[in-house]
A and B are shown apart, each in its own frame.
Chain A
Amino acid sequence: MIPFLEEIARTQADIDGDEFLQIVGIAQTFPGAMGINTAVIIGFRMGGFKGAIASLLGVTVPSVICATGLFYFLLILQGVFWIEAAMTALKAAIVGIILAMAIHLGRRSWHGSFGWMAIAVLAMLCFYQFQLNPVFILLGTGIIGLLAFSGGGWKL
């Protein structure tokens, strides 16, 4: 999705490479889907709230149509003998995808800091072992990061 957004930003809004990366960076600091956040920021820059809502509709409507179509398609397939095996295989594949994605993203942002890694492992244990609410865990890791990484605090 990001490459498409980059092309639109360049051709429609005159936003070039570095500025686009900055927008993606800002989009990531907010909750919600990164693709949607990136799109609405580009839209807002072009036309204020109207622009943001226009780009939001543009990025959401195809997803709604496709997902609705898929839902009815799966409804028709329900009861077909191989669909159960297909769902099991799909779920197994998703587990692999989620783990790969986490390690891929983690490798990109840890920058050789063992303190960073310790925070990630701590968050993992808090959620996996102690079932803490993920939102509280994130608040905690954010505060640890603020104290540890922002200079002046304890360096990790």
Chain B
Amino acid sequence: MSIIQLYLTFLKIGLLGFGGGYMMIPLFFIELVDRWQCLTYDQMFNIVSVAQLVPGTFATNTAVLAGMSVGSIWFALGAVAGVVTPAPFIAFLAERYVRPLLDNSKLQGFLKGLTAGVIGIILATGFKLMHSVVIDWATMLTALLAFYLLFSRQWNVGAAILTSALLGVFAISFLM
């Protein structure tokens, strides 16, 4: 895979990623693992997990880590450039055309349906990934703890991930 192809792939993901970073996770798998086969399923899963540990936007973090894994720092820059290329044009369209339309009931209905779809797909992504990693009581405990800390205790994402993963390492090492 060349840098240009990687750039175009991330441009596509950036243009199709309605619903933000989490919605891009299935697109990363479809494009990079299934279509281009430049990363394995396991590598991609590692990348989207590690990307949450770095401050900054999830989409650009994933682009950097995927680019580095495929090739080099140049691939990483190409991937980031791809995923952010639409942004200035989005700003232009938002200011010129969408702001006056925001009260339009058709647009609101469309967006409401879109949001429902986004939530459904993110849920399905979670369940799909769960199959490959939640395989014993230790990993189950880790996932549940992360869910509990974020959802019920309203911790921030970074703190919830680090705490549950740390306890998970102990539980998993204990099993091995």
Contacts and interface: CB of A to CB of B under 8 A. Distances in A.
Contact of A56 (B30, B84, B120): B84
Contacts of A102: 22, 119, 122-123, 126
Nearest to B56: A63
B165 A100 contact: no
Contacts of B22: 98, 101-102
Contact of A98 (B17, B80, B117, B122): B122
Contacts of B138: 89
B4 interface: no
B120 A92 contact: no
Given A31-B15, A85-B169, A153-B109, A52 B120 contact: no
Contacts, number: 351
Contact of B18 (A88, A117, A119, A138): A138
Contacts of B9: none
B57 A41 contact: no
Interface in A116-156: 116-117, 119-128, 133-135, 137-138, 140-153
Interface residues of B, number: 105
A8 interface: no
B91 A41 contact: yes
A103 B154 CA distance: 13
Interface of B: 14-23, 25-27, 30, 45-46, 48-61, 64-65, 68-69, 73, 76-77, 80, 83-84, 86-88, 90-95, 98-99, 102, 105-130, 133-134, 138-140, 142-148, 150-151, 157, 160-161, 164-169, 171-173, 176
B52 A94 contact: yes
B60 A64 contact: yes
A32 to B, nearest CB: 5
Given A36-B84, A88-B168, A100-B146, A60 B60 contact: yes
